[in-house]
Structures are given as structure tokens and as C-alpha cells.
């Protein structure tokens, strides 16, 4: 099993390995018996809910379970309210624990509930998608969506620990699995050309645990440098400005990782057209994405994307901050007048 320490204000450990769901006692810091609220969507609850509940009961904790309908459409205020009321009805106190078992939707929803319930209680992230393992479970960003936009209600709230049982990836549908690959490609572009090469080889099954560990290390470094996301952590938004706009235009039918893949391709092609990077930069990024069956072209007009980007959190007044690759392994934040965004992106934008 691999361990990565995330040295935020309150440091915590990410443990990655096989069979961890039933070995929680060995991994978690000792804790007095408490009430544990396991939060999972309906799919993950039926796959892993019993196993997770048994593991906590074995440690002497009493367990209650909250299952909600799967999908981004349920990462909303209604589910947050339902979860908070469930916690209150289940008499969770400040010394109790919330456990998010699932993908990024579950982690974001349960993490936000943990941040605001009784002004903040501990929570554990147990990611079961590749995307959650390498991205959303680490770093303490929690949120739900509003009809007006994604992640518009949220908080920074670091987990007590992250436990990633890589065996759970075995049940992932292919499209959900490759969503995570898109974020791994992002880390390769940001910080690790070797990992990008490995991902482009599309023959990395035996190195998946290493990819998770390396991605968590890279994400952890950005989070430690800038926990509140006011500077260098924003580099993790590579591909996300356009990506979030695509997700929203599709009514969240296009999954996060697929949208980010298109976003990275658009920005890399635009950067090459503007002379910021060489042509081989978008070529390498696109090869890694396409090699993993990820999309690189878009179903929506550039105008409709720009309209959505106007409401983006990364907008500050008339400026939008864009993450642009200069080389593989080196990206930079560009603050661009929003009025110039369309002409900058146009050469990188391709309609499917």
C-alpha cells in the first residue's frame, strides 16, 4: 500500500492500495467509538455500502447510511438539505464522522455537508472512481451546483484522511474510468512528461496504482502551496474553464473528465496558434486523450461556451484567468480580458 501525506493546515494521509475497504482499522488513526454516517450514491451504496458499514462496525462504531440518486444532477442544494437533515435526525455530534464512499459527486456533497453541519465535523474520503481518487478526494474543495452554475456553493474543508481501495475501480463503467484518465493527463501536462508518455501508451493497467499515487503527489503539492486557491493552485484548472462551460451547456450530460479533455485540447491548440507553445504540445496532449477514447472536439458553438464562461468563478472583473501550456510539464496562468477570449480560443476550437 502507498501513502502520501498532504501537508495542509491540518495534514492528512492518502492511503492507496488493494483491499483497503475491509482493512480500515489498520489504516485510520485510532478513534473512540463514534457514530459514522456513510454517504454514497445509490449505485455505490449497493456495490460497497455493506462492506464499508461492516468495516466501521468492526471498529466498534455505530453506522447510519445515506444513499442518494447518482449523477451530477443530484449534486445540488436539495440533496445537501436532505443530507444535513439526515445527519441531524441521526443525532450526529461534533465528535462523529461522515464518510464519503464514491465518486466526486459524493465526495463534494458529503464534504460540504461536513463543512457546514454543526459548523464543521470530520469526514473521510473513500474514492471509488479514478477521478475521485486522483483529484476530487484530495485538497478539501467541496461544493454543490446551482442551476446558475457548477460548484457555486462550497467550502474549503480538508478531510481527516483519504482511503482509496483500488479494487473498486474494477466495477467502473469504461466511460467513468476514462474520465479519471483525463485528469491524469492534466497532471502529466502540468508536471510530469513521463506520466503523459505512459498514459499515451494506453498500456498502463499494471501501473494504475503508481498513476494514482503520482497524481495525488502532484495535486498535493499544488494544494500545499496554495490551500485556498488564490494563486498557483489555479493551475489545476487546466482545461476546466472551457470544460465547465461544456458540462453546463450539455446540462451535465457530458461528464466532467470528458469535458475537461475537450477543454485541454482547445486551450493547447489555441496556445500553439498564439505561439505560446510549439505544435507538438497540443499533438502530445491530443494523442494521450484520443488514445484513451477521450473526446477533443466540441458539440457546442464557441459563442455558447463564451456566454457560460462569463459567469465563471475564475473571472475577476473584466479579466479571466486561463491556464495555458507552454511545454509539457510547464503551464502558466494568463489573465486575459474577457473580450479577447473568443479570438484567443477560436483557432483551438473544433466543432465535432
106 binds ligand NAD (CB under 6 A): yes
Residue closer to ligand NAD, measured from CB, 137 or 284:
137
Instruction: Say how far apart CA 2 and CA 209 lie, in whole Å.
Output: 8
Q: Does residue 45 belong to the site contacting ligand NAD (CB under 6 A)?
A: no
Tell me the closest approach of the beta carbon of residue 76 to ligand NAD, in angstroms: 11
CA distance to 78, 164, 244, per residue, from 145 (Å):
10, 25, 11
Residue nearest to ligand NAD (CB): 104
List the one residue from 75, 213, 233, 269 that touches ligand NAD (CB under 6 A). 75
Question: According to the binding rule CB under 6 A, does residue 115 interact with ligand NAD?
Answer: no
Establish if 104 lies at the interface with ligand NAD (CB under 6 A). Answer: yes
d(CA 157, CA 48): 25
CB closer to ligand NAD, 108 vs 122: 108
Which residues have C-beta within 8 Å of that of residue 135, sequence separation ≥ 6? 104, 180, 183, 215, 219
Residue 65 as a binder of ligand NAD (CB under 6 A): the answer is no
CB 254 within 8 A of CB 309: no
108 binds ligand NAD (CB under 6 A): yes
Q: Shortest gap between Cβ of 244 and ligand NAD (angstroms)?
A: 8
Residue 44 found at the interface with ligand NAD (CB under 6 A): yes
Instruction: Count how many Cα atoms sit within 13 Å of the Cα of residue 289 in the half-sphere of its side chain.
Output: 28
Contacts with 113 (C-beta within 8 Å, 6 or more apart), sequence order: 39, 80, 83, 84, 87, 98, 123
Q: Does 176 bind ligand NAD (CB under 6 A)?
A: yes
Which span (20-28, 157-165, 170-178, 329-337) binds ligand NAD, by CB under 6 A?
Answer: 170-178
d(CA 125, CA 265): 30
Give the whole-angstrom CA distance, residue 236 versus residue 264: 11
70 binds ligand NAD (CB under 6 A): yes
How many angstroms from the chain centroid is the CA of residue 62?
29
d(CA 276, CA 189): 15
Identified binder of ligand NAD from the candidate list 4, 37, 41, 305, rule CB under 6 A: 41
* Binds ligand NAD (CB under 6 A): choice among 97, 105, 121, 163: 105
> Which CB sits closer to ligand NAD, 12 or 344?
12
Mapped onto helix, strand or coil, the DSSP state of residue 35 is strand
Q: In the complex with ligand NAD, which residue's Cβ is closer, 116 or 319?
A: 116
| Residue number with CB closer to ligand NAD (141 or 213) | 141
| Nearest residue to 102 via CA among 73, 79, 76, 124 | 124
Q: Looking at beta carbons only, is 264 or 276 nearer to ligand NAD?
A: 264
Distance (Å, whole) CA 257 – CA 312: 18
Residue 84 interacts with ligand NAD (CB under 6 A): yes or no: no
Chain residues binding ligand NAD by CB under 6 A are: 41, 43-44, 47, 70-72, 75, 102-106, 108, 128-129, 131-132, 135-136, 139, 141, 151, 168, 171-172, 176, 179, 255-256
Amino acid at each position: 500500500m502507498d501513502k502520501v501525506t498532504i501537508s495542509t493546515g491540518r495534514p492528512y494521509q492518502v492511503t492507496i492500495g488493494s483491499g483497503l475497504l475491509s482493512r480500515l482499522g489498520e489504516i485510520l488513526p485510532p478513534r473512540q467509538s463514534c457514530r459514522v454516517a456513510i454517504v454514497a450514491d445509490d449505485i455505490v451504496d449497493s456495490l460497497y455500502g455493506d462492506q464499508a458499514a461492516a468495516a466501521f462496525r468492526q471498529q466498534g462504531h455505530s453506522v447510519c447510511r445515506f444513499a442518494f440518486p447518482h449523477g451530477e444532477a443530484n449534486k445540488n442544494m436539495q440533496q445537501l438539505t436532505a443530507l444535513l437533515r439526515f445527519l441531524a435526525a441521526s443525532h450526529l455530534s461534533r465528535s462523529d464522522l461522515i464518510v464519503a464512499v464514491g465518486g466526486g459527486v459524493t465526495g463534494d456533497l458529503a464534504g460540504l455537508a461536513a463543512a457546514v453541519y454543526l459548523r464543521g465535523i470530520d469526514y473521510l474520503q473513500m474514492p471509488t472512481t479514478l477521478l475521485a481518487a486522483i483529484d476530487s478526494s484530495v485538497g478539501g474543495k467541496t461544493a454543490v451546483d446551482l442551476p446558475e452554475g457548477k460548484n457555486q456553493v462550497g467550502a474549503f474543508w480538508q478531510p481527516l484522511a483519504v482511503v482509496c481501495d483500488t479494487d473498486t475501480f474494477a466495477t467502473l463503467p469504461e466511460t467513468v474510468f476514462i474520465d479519471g484518465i483525463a485528469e491524469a493527463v492534466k497532471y502529466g501536462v502540468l508536471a510530469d512528461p513521463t506520466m503523459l508518455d505512459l498514459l499515451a501508451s494506453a498500456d498502463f493497467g499494471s501501473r494504475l496504482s503508481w498513476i494514482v499515487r503520482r497524481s495525488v503527489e502532484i495535486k498535493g503539492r499544488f494544494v500545499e502551496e496554495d490551500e485556498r486557491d488564490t494563486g498557483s493552485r489555479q493551475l489545476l484548472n487546466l482545461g476546466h474553464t472551457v470544460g465547465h462551460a461544456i458540462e453546463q451547456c450539455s446540462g451535465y450530460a457530458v461528464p466532467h473528465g470528458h469535458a475537461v479533455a475537450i477543454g485541454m485540447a482547445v486551450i493547447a491548440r489555441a496556445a500553439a496558434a498564439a505561439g505560446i507553445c510549439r505544435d507538438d504540445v497540443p499533438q502530445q496532449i491530443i494523442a494521450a486523450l484520443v488514445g484513451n477514447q477521450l473526446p477533443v472536439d466540441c458539440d457546442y458553438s464557441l459563442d455558447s461556451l463564451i456566454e457560460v464562461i462569463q459567469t465563471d468563478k475564475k473571472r475577476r472583473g473584466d479579466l479571466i484567468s486561463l491556464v495555458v501550456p507552454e511545454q509539457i510539464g510547464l503551464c502558466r496562468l494568463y489573465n486575459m480580458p474577457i473580450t479577447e477570449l473568443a479570438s484567443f480560443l477560436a483557432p483551438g476550437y473544433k466543432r465535432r
